């Protein structure tokens, strides 16, 4: 049987036991299902489906349970899974407190010294908290001043794709193109400028200049997206 069906039937089994037969309590789901299986990536889709199917009030309990786990030795997979579970919940109001706690954890992870963890945190915030008032300012800060070039790349892409009309996005990308010390950041910024602002009268002259004068072969050869 296709894996998608297996995941769906597995999730529905637990939901049925919880909602219909009432042989599982929310504490049972939290302790015996989520706490037992969040470390295993093979279970993540099942857990997301459960969170998205039950009442949002109960989903908040499960998400809080994930955030209570340490997760340090698993590279904070519990926090990222909590964010994904929130993304499955249709009615976000009952999960507001849990969502704020998850966002706090992710903002902390976005400043971690391990760049791969910070990158995942930035992507999760931009995806699941796009409308939160803290998200756009955080991406601007990370895009311009993160110590990791990989994080600056990620933030730049998220800003260009998610907030192209914000008045600070285009100037930030231009500043990265002109001054960032990482050629990978400059390549990314060039690609996003060409893709998202092709009609801006200032972009073509800038790209022509970069194609002739940038110190990096990779920047000068950046293809049109």
Q: Where are the domains of the chain?
A: 1-109, 135-225
Global pTM value: 0.91
Residues 199, 191 contacting (CB under 8 angstroms): no
Which among 41, 45, 43 has a CA at the least distance from the CA of 53? 45
Residues 50, 66 contacting (CB under 8 angstroms): no
What is the sign, positive or negative, of the torsion defined by CA atoms of 176, 219, 212, 194? negative
The upper half-sphere exposure of residue 21, i.e. CA atoms within 13 Å in the direction of its Cβ, equals 8
Token couple for 120: 């995942």
What is the pLDDT tens value at each position of the chain, 225 positions in all? 578 889 999 999 999 999 999 999 999 999 999 999 999 999 999 999 999 999 999 999 999 999 999 999 999 999 999 999 999 999 989 999 999 999 999 999 999 999 999 999 999 999 999 999 999 999 999 999 999 999 999 999 999 999 999 999 999 999 999 999 999 999 999 999 999 999 999 999 999 999 999 999 999 998 865
187 vs 173: CA distance, rounded Å: 11
pLDDT of residue 60: 98
Q: Which residues contact 89 (CB under 8 A, 6 or more apart)?
A: 51, 52, 56, 59, 95
Residues 159, 123 contacting (CB under 8 angstroms): no
Residues 196, 161 contacting (CB under 8 angstroms): yes
Output the CATH code of domain 135-225.
1.25.10
Token couple for 206: 């800038």
């Amino acid at each position: 049987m296709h894996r998608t069906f297996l995941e769906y039937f597995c999730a529905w089994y637990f939901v049925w036991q919880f909602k219909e037969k009432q042989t599982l309590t929310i504490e049972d789901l939290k302790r015996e299902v989520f706490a037992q299986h969040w470390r295993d990536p093979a279970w993540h889709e099942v857990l997301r489906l459960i969170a998205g199917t039950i009442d949002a009030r109960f989903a908040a309990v499960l998400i809080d349970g994930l955030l209570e786990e340490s997760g340090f030795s698993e590279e904070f997979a519990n926090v990222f899974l909590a964010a994904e579970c929130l993304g499955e919940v249709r009615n976000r109001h009952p999960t507001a407190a849990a969502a704020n706690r998850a966002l706090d954890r992710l903002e902390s992870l976005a400043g971690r010294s391990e760049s791969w963890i910070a990158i995942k945190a930035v992507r999760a915030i931009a995806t699941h908290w796009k409308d939160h008032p803290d998200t756009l300012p955080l991406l601007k800060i990370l895009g311009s001043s993160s110590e990791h070039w990989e994080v600056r790349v990620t933030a730049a892409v998220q800003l260009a794709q998610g907030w192209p009309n914000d008045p600070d996005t285009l100037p930030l990308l231009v500043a990265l193109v002109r001054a960032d010390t990482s050629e990978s950041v400059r390549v990314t910024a060039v690609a996003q400028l060409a893709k998202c602002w092709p009609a801006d009268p200032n972009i073509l002259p800038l790209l022509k200049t970069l194609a002739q004068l940038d110190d990096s072969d990779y920047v000068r050869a950046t293809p049109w997206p």
